[in-house]
Amino acid sequence: MLFSNQGKPSGAMEILSTAGTIGLQLVTATFVGLAMGYFLDEWLGTSPWLLIVFLLLGIVAGFRDVFLEARRIQRRSEGDHGAESGPRGSDPK
């Protein structure tokens, strides 16, 4: 078969996709907060206050997403290591 490992991505591809996802989460959350603040300022005439508030909220949301993603990766990594030291890797007598 040409592509025998179609079901599971390789380790390098998984790392690259995770890094891309983390970067996109941070940038997207910041941009959404900036855009919301800008348009609310234009609509309500409160320039620049809502822009600053929503920009900061977007940055906080982006870092929160990055933190949660890092915790998810860490748990998955710990689960992989725990599976390797299962019954076969237990303490020999």
E strand or H helix that includes residue 40: helix 11-44
- Asked if residue 8 has pLDDT above 90, the reply is no
Q: What pLDDT digit, counting tens, does each position of 25-34 carry?
A: 999 999 999 9
List Cα–Cα distances, 72 to 11, 17, 60, 75, in angstroms.
16, 14, 18, 5
- When the pLDDT of each residue in the chain is averaged and rounded to a whole number, the result is 83
Q: Can you tell me the distance from the alpha carbon of 37 to that of 58, in angstroms, rounded to the nearest whole number? A: 10
The reported pLDDT for the residue numbered 1 is: 47
The residue count for the chain: 93
Query: 39-91, pLDDT tens digit by residue?
Result: 999 999 999 999 999 999 999 999 999 999 989 988 988 887 765 555 555 55
Nearest to 22 by CA among 57, 56, 72: 72
